[in-house]
Amino acid sequence: MTRRRLPKPDKTLGERLIKEARLAREKKTDQLPSGVEREELLEKARQADVTASIDGWLNSHGLRSPK
């Protein structure tokens, strides 16, 4: 069986998550009235921010495996 080569993303996971969170806050929430859909989008943006922070922490140079 041959393995399929997947394209390598041009941005890191953290960068993509931050962009997604920013777009959700800018475009979607300004156009929607207060309600469930707006709150879900804001929650998604918050989750993307937290995930980006965790990803940055896990990939930091200061984090080292125990010896």
pLDDT tens column, 24-66: 787 666 777 878 888 888 888 888 889 888 888 888 877 666 6
Confidence (pLDDT) at 40: 84
Q: Tell me the CA distances in angstroms from 57 to 2, 19, 43, 53, 62, one per residue in order.
A: 35, 18, 21, 6, 9
Confidence (pLDDT) at 59: 81
d(CA 11, CA 63): 21
Query: CB–CB of 50/20 below 8 Å?
Result: no
Confidence (pLDDT) at 41: 83
Report the predicted TM-score, pTM, of the whole model to 2 decimal places. Answer: 0.65
